[in-house]
Structure 1
């Protein structure tokens, strides 16, 4: 019987056998891009030499008791440094890329942008960052930022259009259940582990009756009253626990820390910034940086700073505050405070 006729009469079996044997056929070798040509490889980084000099020469590492807290961007020859306010608390030293160490003191903080101004003691003729004129870099534009070691740069691109980031209020860290006038409040179905509520002593089954002395009988009202406060602020919570009425003072936590521990993508992202919301405007990019790199500048290919990094959001997203806002805050915080009468 001719082979073609055999195939027609036994087509399914023939096809399956052919597929089986073909699946084990050797595949052609695929060329692999050399390591030095990867995004953060040696050859790629050499193309950003001008940015490297600017980024590393105008960046410091802020340290407390030998531990890195954040990075800072030098904004004046006299040693003024802009950094992320919420993570630089207690900074004692600024370390330059060449290893030189200086004592630092804080000059002021800006709550809206989460920036702080520090002053390096005894420093003269430092190299301040040079600001870019462009306010809204195009999506896909190349960017660089200093690695926390101050030994090299990291490379990335602008990931989205510049935009404001809405405020997210503080949270108790509980899942709310039944509510209503008949219940007399709002029941706590679950207290999240390591949350503000757990730290304060709230328990599953507690019925919240007041928030900051305001009566609550609905989940919506409870969320509204709590969310009107920022992370770190304290709210007074009254609950019914069985026959008892108990009062608690709860220091609110960050939503990202409290609930994203149960989010798979967030867990894959590793450590992120606690404060990553409520910014007047941001540049979103994908330079791979840890939270301790916040406060450092992000630069274009010409070595000009487009802004200062203020939040690691996840493994592929970092927010930078545009240069326009950074410069405004610098001028605001450097002005002498009026003497109290």
Structure 2
């Protein structure tokens, strides 16, 4: 019965979209895509999707999105954003919170699989064979699942190449070769967020001495976006230490150009994906790890990177669903008593 009501509501929404040009003289421009009147028919989908969504963090004040992918407590989310929320707690709709353990981190897809001890949960059912094309309407949850937002698939599915990872600094010449001199720090970069300043002299990363610009670049690029490195430096001759969470070069360079300030921020990792769905739903970095739906209420992908104020990438379900089932199966077998394993 609930499924029929959802389909009926979504059918009404499709008619409403067709009628939008007629209503354009009535609705203010800001209300025509994500206004309350436009989104009301999607309320059944929001309620249904919310029951599969979770919040991941150390407290309810700062969380990342995730989705249940099995009824016995397996949760999928974005790996590079989840690192900052360790140790992980899962906050459920009923007000309870549970500790989560790590099952699998997939670096290629930037996915993290977690597990809580709870049964009878509503898991996402992925639709792997749904054809999509540019211009199709899609929707996703935001604001901790309290709201649903609309947008369109804005480009063909494609791969996003690796641009490397960076601190977000411009390095200057250092004739003494006793460290790497920071000449400039990009706004909203990993370096700025960690408290680094121009004229700081970087002397080591994770305990390894750094003496040249080339050495620093090599050490940073051997890591992944989202990795945290411990950096030691000198400031006016005084030693200091900080932790820096590395980000994709493309993300830092975009912000360095001033394109994304005051627009809700971007994800730490925004590239190096073998296949993505690009859409324009207005989301936040904290919404990554949530499911992407078509207007039939089918989950077709997982939001994986907020790239700029009008662009979000999602991993299509057919890219990860088979591996996901293998990770879950392997973990269940590991957790069985030794005598009952096959």
TM-score, length-normalised on structure 2?
0.70
TM-aligned CA deviation for residue 287 of structure 1? 1.0
The match for 1:285 among 273, 276, 279 is: 279
1:92 equivalent in alignment to 2:86? no
TM-aligned CA deviation for residue 93 of structure 1? 2.4
Higher alpha-carbon Rg: 1
TM-aligned CA deviation for residue 168 of structure 1? 2.9
**Conservation of the 8 A alpha-carbon contact between 1:50 and 1:303:** no
2:261 aligns to what SS in structure 1?
helix
What residue ranges of structure 1 are gaps of 5+ in the alignment? Answer: 1-29
TM-aligned CA deviation for residue 50 of structure 1? 5.4
Does 271-280 or 188-197 show the bigger shift?
188-197
Residue aligning to 2:139: 144
User: Residues of 1 paired with 2:314 and 2:88: CA distance?
Assistant: 21
1:190 equivalent in alignment to 2:190? no
1:327 aligns to what SS in structure 2?
helix
**1:239-254 alignment, distance < 5 Å:** 253-254=246-247
Residue aligning to 1:157: 152
User: Residues of 1 paired with 2:57 and 2:194: CA distance?
Assistant: 28
User: Residues of 2 paired with 1:35 and 1:95: CA distance?
Assistant: 36
1:112 equivalent in alignment to 2:108? yes
1:306 equivalent in alignment to 2:303? no
State the Cα deviation string for residues 165-213 of structure 1 (Å, max 9, x = none).
Answer: 222322243324569xx998998471416754996979649699xxx78
Count of residue pairs brought into register by the alignment: 300
1:78 equivalent in alignment to 2:53? no
State the Cα deviation string for residues 266-315 of structure 1 (Å, max 9, x = none).
Answer: 11423221122222211111111111111110101111111111111111
1:52 aligns to what SS in structure 2?
helix
Residue aligning to 1:68: 62
Does 199-208 or 313-322 show the bigger shift?
199-208
User: Residues of 1 paired with 2:38 and 2:119: CA distance?
Assistant: 34
User: Residues of 2 paired with 1:173 and 1:127: CA distance?
Assistant: 41
TM-score, length-normalised on structure 1?
0.70
2:281 aligns to what SS in structure 1?
coil
1:48 equivalent in alignment to 2:45? no
1:317 equivalent in alignment to 2:304? no
**Conservation of the 8 A alpha-carbon contact between 1:52 and 1:303:** no
